[in-house]
Amino acid sequence: MTSHVTTHVLDATTGVPAAGVGVTLSRVEGETATVLASGVTDDDGRNRQLGPERLEPGVYRMSFATGEYFAARGVATFYPSVNIDFLVEEGRAHYHVPCLLSPFAYSTYRGS
């Protein structure tokens, strides 16, 4: 089973997948974020099992433990975590939320 939402994290400083990054999926309602699932990226920098098969429409947050990832490599970073909020719409079968990391920048896009 692949969950409704997946991620792929790449380390731009090394040019390789970011293995071992902690990832948390939360549902956001107003000021409250309720954790639904958590895990880590695999050797290819991916997490395909984050959360349920289906998510209800609404706002969700994917949080990446970037500070821990870089600290384990002895690299200083400006971002202790990266939080990406995204909207789940009715009828969409899958959401892929990739993240490209470096110690002092990050980027994301709507994946497929």
Quote the tokens at residue 107: 């980027």
Q: According to the model, what pLDDT value does residue 112 have? A: 82
The pLDDT tens digits for 51-107 are 788 899 999 999 999 999 999 999 999 999 999 999 999 877 789 999 999 999 999
Count CB neighbours of 43 within 10 A.
9
Residue 49 · residue 3 · CB < 8 Å: yes
DSSP line for 49-83: EES-S---SEEEEEEE-HHHHHHTTT---S-S-EE
Burial class (CB within 10 angstroms; exposed 0-12, middle 13-18, buried 19+) of 64: buried
Instruction: Parse the chain into domains and list their residue ranges.
Output: 5-108
> pTM for the whole thing?
0.93
Residue 1's pLDDT is: 57
Q: Please give the CATH topology (third level) of the domain spanning 5-108.
A: Immunoglobulin-like (2.60.40)
- Gap between the Cα atoms of 40 and 38, Å rounded: 7
Which pLDDT tens digit goes with each residue over 17-64?
A: 999 999 999 999 999 999 999 999 999 999 998 878 889 999 999 999
